[in-house]
Amino acid sequence: MAWVSLTPFLLDDLRPPGMPALPWISRTPETNVRTYVRGPGGEPGIWFFSLDIARLPAALVGRATYAVPYVWSDLTVEDDGTRVRYAGRRRWPGAGARYEVVVEPGGALRNDELSAVDHFLTDRFVLYSTYGRVPGRAYVEHPPWPLARATVLRLEENLLASAGLPGPVGEPLVHHSPGVPVRISRPHLA
């Protein structure tokens, strides 16, 4: 049994360190299918089954640099102030996988309202991958996520099945966040 997350969000100011943000590529939707793991040294981290992104150059750079399964996709994020709609359809590789999620964010959660599971799912500072047969990792820096509960109004997806995963069991645990700045280190062999 494992936690698997479908995590859609909007990247803003995406760029390599020391480089200026480029208008077309620096703001783009992304959606991850991930699980939560411990690396060879026991550090908790994230393992990605897929990372859908709307910019082909970003998908290619992410695949080449971090050895993670980026997928070029048509993605949209629509926020009307009360509901947020995330939708996507894969272009390459794995054309045909798609999803639509509509959530209604609730009120912000105070730190003392967060459960152990909330912390387990959001306090992750390492991403793991493999370079051939060699494990790799990159360190992730970010402040604590400001979280709110959210209600799923619509959820249709086949991204989990595309990753070879069984369907989820039970009601989803849903978080919403306005976001935080995130920095990711260069990759390291684990």
- Reported as a pLDDT band with limits 50, 70 and 90, residue 177 is very high
Rounded to whole angstroms, how far apart are CA atoms 91 and 56? Answer: 10
User: For 123-171, how does the pLDDT look when each residue is reduced to its tens digit (9 = 90+)?
Assistant: 999 999 999 999 999 999 999 999 999 999 999 999 999 999 998 888 8
Tell me what pLDDT residue 1 has.
67
Q: Could you tell me the CATH number of the domain that includes residue 167? A: 2.40.400.10
Secondary structure (DSSP) of the chain: ---EEEEEEEEES---TTSPPPTTTSEEEEEEEEEEEE-TTS-EEEEEEEEEES-HHHHHHHHHHH---EEEEEEEEEE-SS-EEEEEEEEESSTT-EEEEEEEEEEEPPGGG--HHHHHHH---EEEEEETTEEEEEEEE-PPPP-EEEEEEEEEE-HHHHTTPPPP-SPPP-EE------EEPPPEE-
User: For 83-97, how does the pLDDT look when each residue is reduced to its tens digit (9 = 90+)?
Assistant: 999 999 999 988 889
Tell me what pLDDT residue 22 has.
81
Tell me what pLDDT residue 63 has.
95
Tell me what pLDDT residue 187 has.
94
Number of domains composing the chain: 1
Supply the range of the domain harboring residue 142.
4-189
Rounded to whole angstroms, how far apart are CA atoms 175 and 122? Answer: 10
